[in-house]
Structure 1
Amino acid sequence: MITTTDLTKVYRSQGREVTALAGVDLHVREGEVYGVVGTSGAGKSTLIRCVNMLERPSSGTVTVDGLDLTALGGHEQRAGSALREARRRIGMVFQHFNLLASRTAQENVELPLEIIGLDRAQRRRKAAELLDLVGLADKARSYPSQLSGGQKQRVGIARALAGDPKVLLSDEATSALDPETTRSILKLLRDLNQQLGLTVLLITHEMDVIKSVCDSAALMRGGRVVESGELTDLLATPGSELARELFPLSEFGSGHPGRTVLEITFQGDTSARPFVSQLARTYQIDINILGAAVETIAGRMVGRMRVELSGSHQDNVVPIGFLREQGLQVDVLDAANGAVA
């Protein structure tokens, strides 16, 4: 649904060049919620603004629903009109809501409908339906100053849906909200994704947002995508940086020299199996559990456990093989620093 190929954005000012995007390749499948995460300055906001052509890339292509947006626009009137039409199919939710203070919630939602030329009755009917969809039917006549932060963002989401988009872009939509409100907005985005078949691309600096709502994710650093994929695949990938950020075990012990430390990841059906007790009984070995955690990620139960076995890695080749035969991901760690050996 969304594909960027070798996307580059260079800003030039006073003889200086700043590269915000450096050859970004991204693929978001139809109907999924895709998160892009990274620290400030990673290039996330520039990326999402290039996707809807609020920023024109310096080079590379952006394709949305099979249409190359970078081939549209410019000075030619017909091309510019085609770009405006394409943008109508892309909804955008902003961090700071961007509501007009002089308009009620309903009137804010009606604004894009006015621009495309719907008559007053059609605008009112459509805006009322959208406000009901986001749970704000009773706030239609309220002004932004009378709404909470979460309610303002719901109005912003309703406005973004006014053009019946296939794609919804979220630019740090929850970063200005408290944790409880954040959870409600993320649940709304997931519900809209499922009810309307929306493809959602969101950017965030919060790993909890990725964990709670996304199907796939990309990690950006220095204007580049350094890792990407489905969350379930990333969690099963040895050495995945995103997986370790999603499911950190840094607070757990790193074991003792001369012993074998394993990091075991389990998800889906394997999460219900008593593999630790089976391992201990089968091989008559002592197992020291250094730490464990279980969470729901991308709608699946996922767990990670760090355990310590007596003896060296070579001494434990057979028990490690037993665990892997159970469908578990097993990484052998260096006990000195907790890194994958």
Structure 2
Amino acid sequence: MDASVITTTDLRKVYRSRDREVTALDGVDLGVREGEVYGVVGRSGAGKSTLIRCVNLLERPTSGTVEVAGRDLTALAGRSDRAPAALRAARAGIGMVFQHFNLLSSRTVQDNVELPLEILGVSGRARARKAGELLDLVGLSDKARAYPAQLSGGQKQRVGIARALAGDPKVLLSDEATSALDPETTRSVLRLLRDLNRQLGLTVLLITHEMDVVKQVCDSAALMKGGRVVESGTVAELLATPGSELAGELFPVGGQASGPDRTVVDLTFHGDSATRPVISQLARTYNVDISILGAAMETYDGRQIGRMRIELPGRFEDNVVPIGYLREQGLDVAVVPDAPEAVPVTGPVSVTDPVAAPVPAPAPVSTVKETAK
């Protein structure tokens, strides 16, 4: 099993103002494995940015623990507002990329990248050599003497990434690093982050509200709401989980039943089932008219994964056999609960037993556990 490089345990952050308390983080448990790109998604106010600032102790958690690379940062924090030397040393192994770049306008690109090394007391010649290597790595070696005002938004973010890598970190934190960029520049920066992840063996934790970011670069993801992680796991696991809210956001499909005596079913295709004509085979085998209400197909990590919403004629009990057939073909199936009789199918149903009763649905699963490797 891959070890977790970033672990938060029962992490809480409460902001107090006079007689009012606002809970930004409400018991967050998170595990980011070595070498993966982990995305945390959610709407504004979900607690995402507070979480990432607690990971490097820019924000002191109210309670709970944060471990990075085997070190308990919360134990190093002390009680004063000033970070002790041990915490500052631990932070040297954590790079941070900000949404609004945070570059010093009076310094050249080269000088901005050298700044962390200057603070660490690295000699001028060594700083210049390291900054030159990093600017070459992010494709900006020709901009070393330029000033931030002369750069595009994407170039500024690349400088911010180079600066975050100056201390040779093992962990890179990204707080909405692409939200201020246009779509093409966003794709370019995401490709850079993925390349750095692979070339340098970086573990990347990124915060975003954009589902496309998760689809393009993330190995694992977590969905936050109201300061809590409500769903987490590898992206492949989430996509293969019927009823996954995050999967529904990544690959949205819609459509409502056309009448009261109809059954609406959500299907997830992956592996061999993504390339086989399962729906047409179902229609021929059972002589059933099938309406496709919505569909989405994507290639993720070199594999085709798709979601589809279909409508079957008749009530749920009339469609137990066709639904069982779909499951036996390797599809993940969930009946959309718009009608009282529509309940998720949670176990295999034999297609040879036309009167098989549906299995009652358990409470919805909100978290997908990560598979041990």
Distance (whole Å) between structure 2 residues aligned to residue 138 and residue 254 of structure 1: 58
Q: Deviations over 1:10-45 (max 9, x none)?
A: 112223222111111111111111111111111111
Letter in 1 for 2:111: E
Distance (whole Å) between structure 2 residues aligned to residue 180 and residue 8 of structure 1: 37
Aligned equivalent of 1:152, options 134, 156, 164? 156
Equivalenced residue count is: 337
Secondary structure of the structure 2 residue equivalent to 1:188? helix
Distance (whole Å) between structure 2 residues aligned to residue 269 and residue 143 of structure 1: 52
Secondary structure of the structure 1 residue equivalent to 2:293? strand
Distance (whole Å) between structure 2 residues aligned to residue 314 and residue 277 of structure 1: 21
Distance (whole Å) between structure 2 residues aligned to residue 293 and residue 232 of structure 1: 15
Aligned equivalent of 1:307, options 307, 310, 317? 310
Secondary structure of the structure 2 residue equivalent to 1:290? strand
- Say whether 1:54 aligns with 2:58: yes
- Say whether 1:182 aligns with 2:183: no
Aligned to 2:201: 197
Q: Tell me, yes or no, if the aligned pair for 1:211 and 1:298 is still in contact at 8 Å.
A: no
- Say whether 1:249 aligns with 2:253: yes
Q: Deviations over 1:192-249 (max 9, x none)?
A: 1111111111111122222221111111111111111111111222221111111111
Secondary structure of the structure 2 residue equivalent to 1:121? helix
- Residue 336 of structure 1 deviates from its aligned partner by 5.2
Aligned to 1:92: 96
The Cα RMSD (Å) is: 1.8
Secondary structure of the structure 2 residue equivalent to 1:20? strand
- Say whether 1:114 aligns with 2:118: yes
Distance (whole Å) between structure 2 residues aligned to residue 86 and residue 155 of structure 1: 23
- What residue ranges of structure 1 are gaps of 5+ in the alignment? none
Where do 1:1-341 residues align within 5 Å? 1-74=5-78, 80-250=84-254, 252-297=255-300, 300-334=303-337
Letter in 1 for 2:196: L
Distance (whole Å) between structure 2 residues aligned to residue 124 and residue 301 of structure 1: 45
Letter in 1 for 2:260: P
Letter in 1 for 2:310: V
- Residue 46 of structure 1 deviates from its aligned partner by 0.8
Q: Tell me, yes or no, if the aligned pair for 1:239 and 1:340 is still in contact at 8 Å.
A: no
- Residue 257 of structure 1 deviates from its aligned partner by 2.2
Distance (whole Å) between structure 2 residues aligned to residue 120 and residue 267 of structure 1: 54
Q: Tell me, yes or no, if the aligned pair for 2:257 and 2:263 is still in contact at 8 Å.
A: no
Q: 1:312 to 1:75 in 2, by over 3 A?
A: closer
Q: 1:75 to 1:262 in 2, by over 3 A?
A: closer
Distance (whole Å) between structure 1 residues aligned to residue 127 and residue 307 of structure 2: 50
Distance (whole Å) between structure 2 residues aligned to residue 197 and residue 255 of structure 1: 51
Letter in 2 for 1:120: G
Distance (whole Å) between structure 2 residues aligned to residue 28 and residue 299 of structure 1: 22
Under a length normalisation based on structure 1, what TM-score does the superposition of the two structures give?
0.94
- Residue 61 of structure 1 deviates from its aligned partner by 0.1
Under a length normalisation based on structure 2, what TM-score does the superposition of the two structures give?
0.86
Q: Tell me, yes or no, if the aligned pair for 1:10 and 1:18 is still in contact at 8 Å.
A: yes
Aligned to 2:352: none
- Residue 253 of structure 1 deviates from its aligned partner by 4.3
Distance (whole Å) between structure 2 residues aligned to residue 255 and residue 301 of structure 1: 29
Letter in 2 for 1:33: V
